[in-house]
Amino acid sequence: MKLKVIVLGALLTLAIAIPLGVQSAADKAMFTPKQMADWLHLVMSTDRAVYTKVIVNRLTKKDKVIKASEHFEDDQALALPAQMFRFGAEGVARKTEDFSYSLMSLWPINKQNAPVTDVEQTGLKFIADNPGENYYSEEELGGKQYFTAIYPDPAVAPVCVSCHNEHKDSPRNDFKIGEVMGGVVIRIPTGG
């Protein structure tokens, strides 16, 4: 009888402990904000590259069946890759404040995308001056602490260069292929 009680008790304990163990592992803080930001950026940049290559360039350059336009609804055209990126950022912002991201530049077409915080200013200059390197920092905004990562956003195709160099609102018109045109800024709140 005692043995039965012990065995049943052990089984019951296992039945409770195993799911709890799985649950706690899922909730355990295993990754740093930097790793998380790097992975988020990897997803963002890959998705954007896929949209640019598989949708925009194929249909506008290769098949020549549709144009891509800043005013894509009025022009019945495809949204520009940078716009797709921003729509994603706005969609995320509507659903969570656990992280945020944006596309910014020292030479923005839309002045609202110029650096606002000291970290943005320093980071965007750093990635422009140090091609291929990311910039990581921490900052306090609105009384909250954030881990902020800034990734270079280079001109990967001729259309990036021609659009920015020829746009009437662009403050710079001498971009070249491969040059850093701006940066992806990812923020993760770290408490406080």
Partner 1 sequence: MTTHKRLPKRPILWLCWIYGSAVLGAAMSDHIRHGHDRSLFLPGETSYGHHQIELACEACHTESYTDKDAMQVACESCHLDQLKLAKDDHPKTKFTDPRNAARVARLDARYCVTCHVEHRPDITLAMGLTQPVDYCFICHEQIAEDRPSHAGMAFDTCASAGCHNFHDNRALYEDFLLKHLDEPVVIKTAFDKPGANLLEVAPVMGKYPTDAYPLEQRDATNIDVADKFHEDEIIDEWLMSAHSESGVTCSACHHDSQQAWLAKPDHSVCQTCHEVEVGSFLLGKHGMRLDIERLNKNLSPMSPKHARLNMLETAHSQELSCNSCHGTHRYDVEFAATDGCLACHDDNHSRSFKSSPHFVADAAPDADWQGLTCADCHMPMTEKEFFWGEVIWTYANHNQSENFLPNEKMLRPVCMQCHGLQFAIDSLADRDLIANNFNGRPTTKIQSLELARARLELAAQAKAAADKAAAEAAALETAQ
Shorter beta-carbon distance to partner 1: residue 108 or 152:
108
Q: How far is the CB of 21 from partner 1 (least distance, A)?
A: 35
For helices 33-50 and 81-95, the axis angle rounded to 10 degrees is: 140
CB atoms inside a 10 Å sphere around CB 146: 23
Show the tokens assigned to 22: 């799985």
How distant, in Å, are the alpha carbons of 7, 49, 133, 187 from that of 151? 56, 15, 7, 12
Q: Which CB, 27 or 73, lies closer to partner 1?
A: 73
Per-residue x/- mask for partner 1, residues 119 to 138, rule CB under 8 A?
Answer: -x------------------
Measured from the CB of residue 56, what is the shortest distance to partner 1 in angstroms? 19
**Nearest approach, Cβ of 188 to partner 1 (angstroms)?**
10
Q: What does the radius of gyration of the chain's CA atoms come to, in whole angstroms?
A: 23
Among 13, 76, 173, 190, binds partner 1 (CB under 8 A): 173
- Nearer CB in complex with partner 1: 17/116: 116
Nearer to partner 1, 47 or 70 (CB): 70
Residue 79 carries which DSSP code? P
Q: Which amino acid appears at position 77 of this protein?
A: A
Q: Which stretch binds partner 1 (CB under 8 A): 1-9, 58-66, 87-95, 151-159?
A: 87-95
Q: Which of these, 118, 134, 104, lies nearest to 35 by C-alpha position?
A: 134
* CA angle, residues 50, 46, 131, in degrees to nearest 5: 120
Residues that bind partner 1 (CB under 8 A): 70-71, 74, 90, 93-94, 97, 100, 102, 111, 116-117, 120, 141-144, 146, 166, 168, 173, 185, 187, 189
